Amino acid sequence: MSGESFRSSAAVLLTRDEGREVFLVERSSQLSFFGGYWACPGGVLDAVDRESREPSARAEPTHADLARCAARELFEETGVSVPELAELFSRSSAPTRNDLQQQLLAGETDAWRDWVTREPSGWQTFESLRRVCTLTTPPFAPVRYRTEFWQLELPGGEQPVVEEGELVRGEFMRPAEVLERWTNGELFVVPPVLFLLRELCAGPLVPALDKARAFSEEIAAGRLSEIRHTPGVFTAPLATPTIPPATTTNCYLVGEQEVYVIDPATWEESERVRLFNLMDSWIASGKTFKGVLVSHHHHDHIGSVVETAARYQLEVLAHPLTLERLPELPFGSRALADGDRLELGPAPDGRADWGLSVYHTPGHDRGHLVFVEDRYGAALVGDLVSTLSTIIIDPPEGHLATYLASLRRMAALDLGVLYPSHGPAARDGSLYIEKFIAHRGMREEQLVTGLQSGLSDVDQLLEQVYRGTPPEIMPMAKRSLLAGLEKLEEEGRAECVRGGWSLPS
């Protein structure tokens, strides 16, 4: 796609017993990208992996470059050598395998380049690695990765060992066992690996990999990716006219057999078709859609509400203040109130009495709702928070004190994965909201400091409090700054006299 930027990476599906077991590694919870998740060994393409050093080669790495990346990351993270590398080790004595691995763990890659170029023919190609598929991080993420997955059957004499650091541990597991533990809420698995494990459960290794490759090509052609962090929640990021840095709004499909659609947001026909194709396939598989839920009335959340309701003959459920601002709905509506609960049928692990609890969370919007499913604690938070940026509080619809009260209320719950409307999911929802509250507190301190220094004009305060904010965001930041000043005024900590702001007299 023109204009889009990706970081190239590679990962290895390390199998044993012809795919009956897969070696996965648990990533440290301190990592910003999929911290606390189980994944395949892998990482980002390094300059040392590229055969060509020409600038033109930087944009599109070759398959051979990515195979070298996969072999290097596998060796660094697990100590497992692909057969070609093991053959080189067998014919040389220095440095030892352990020396090379420790150098890689320390970020020293020069020795690796020496190994992969020491054959008379030049660069190693590592043809023992079988290319599986290429998957790209969806457009909701601040950093997007284009990852090439490779498969390797564990070579004889090799045994993976993980040194604790960025990784916590690693182990061979049966794909069905991983999926069962994920379904029981015992572990987190990165979505692309979940996708591969499901294919491995369905049949023998080679046909499963072929099916995964074909499915990845459909995704590249426009099919919605398989994005699941917790059972029963499917993320569909759809292009919308939203506020930068976001370019999409997440539509969510929640449920297993009985499903609700939350915020079918897009206004674009091609994006609407992608959503409807997914929903049609779910209906063909026996699932039933129960209704359309709307978190709030803002433009970037309602683009396909009427069309979705009409196509699937569904009622629309939202707060009364949202419903009164929606166009006429073809199959009616139902008002939701704080404390309501929507039944979802049996949970993915078979437990009965699974549902969505409704929370009224005003502050960003007076009719804003959050939905929390009560088996895994997944919180579908709309615009309560974003994982891309702060949320705009725009008076008079937006009210900062009310918004902070909504944040504190939700943070006090024992939330699991947080699913925002803009940005990727966050693993610990309550902790993430606490960080949001702390950020708002920091902004308020900066605002008070500006008033203490004698600044009184809103534009002067904006320049100090939001220094470094991109220019295109400043008009929205100004509205949030005004919300902060109004909160201080309500608390008797600031006053506005003849258009200028100051500390109380």
Q: Find how far residue 353's CA is from the centre of its chain.
A: 28
* Per-residue pLDDT tens over the stretch 125-164: 889 999 999 999 998 888 899 999 999 999 999 999 998 8
Q: Tell whether the model's pLDDT for residue 433 goes beyond 80.
A: yes
Short-list 16, 122, 118, CA closest to 64: 122
CA separation, residue 236 to residues 240, 265, 395, 413, 436 (Å): 12, 10, 30, 26, 24
- β-pairing, 167-173 vs 316-318, is unpaired
pLDDT score recorded for residue 106: 86
Q: Which CATH architecture does the domain made up of 233-442 adopt?
A: 4-Layer Sandwich (3.60)
| Fold classification of 444-502 (topology level) | Arc Repressor Mutant, subunit A (1.10.10)
* Per-residue pLDDT tens over the stretch 167-201: 999 999 999 999 999 999 999 999 999 999 999 99
Q: pLDDT class for 121, splitting at 50, 70, 90?
A: low
End-to-end Cα separation, the chain, in angstroms: 57
Question: Which amino acid is residue 78, in one-letter code?
Answer: T
Please state the pTM of the whole predicted model: 0.94
pLDDT score recorded for residue 2: 36
**H helices within 384-428, ranges in order?**
400-411
Question: Among the listed ranges 19-28, 104-113, 120-129, 199-208, which one has the minimum average pLDDT value?
Answer: 120-129
In this prediction, residues 469-480 reach a mean pLDDT of 90
**C-alpha Rg value of the chain to the nearest Å:** 26
pLDDT score recorded for residue 103: 87
Q: pLDDT class for 1, splitting at 50, 70, 90?
A: very low
Break the chain into its structural domains and give their ranges: 7-173, 233-442, 444-502
CATH superfamily of 7-173: Nucleoside Triphosphate Pyrophosphohydrolase (3.90.79.10)
CA separation, residue 349 to residues 34, 76, 232, 326, 341 (Å): 24, 36, 10, 36, 20
pLDDT score recorded for residue 238: 97
pLDDT score recorded for residue 152: 97
* Per-residue pLDDT tens over the stretch 325-348: 999 999 999 999 999 999 999 999
- The CA angle 289-305-375, to the nearest 5 degrees, is 45
pLDDT score recorded for residue 119: 66
* Per-residue pLDDT tens over the stretch 343-391: 999 999 999 999 999 999 999 999 999 999 999 999 999 999 999 989 9
Q: What DSSP element (H or E) covers 73?
A: helix 63-78
Q: pLDDT class for 57, splitting at 50, 70, 90?
A: very low
- The CA angle 130-133-134, to the nearest 5 degrees, is 130
Q: Is 107 left (phi over 0), alpha (psi -120 to 50) or beta?
A: left
Dihedral pair phi/psi, residue 349, rounded to 5°: -90, 10
Short-list 233, 164, 172, CA closest to 197: 172
**Integer Cα distance of 220 and 131 in angstroms:** 16
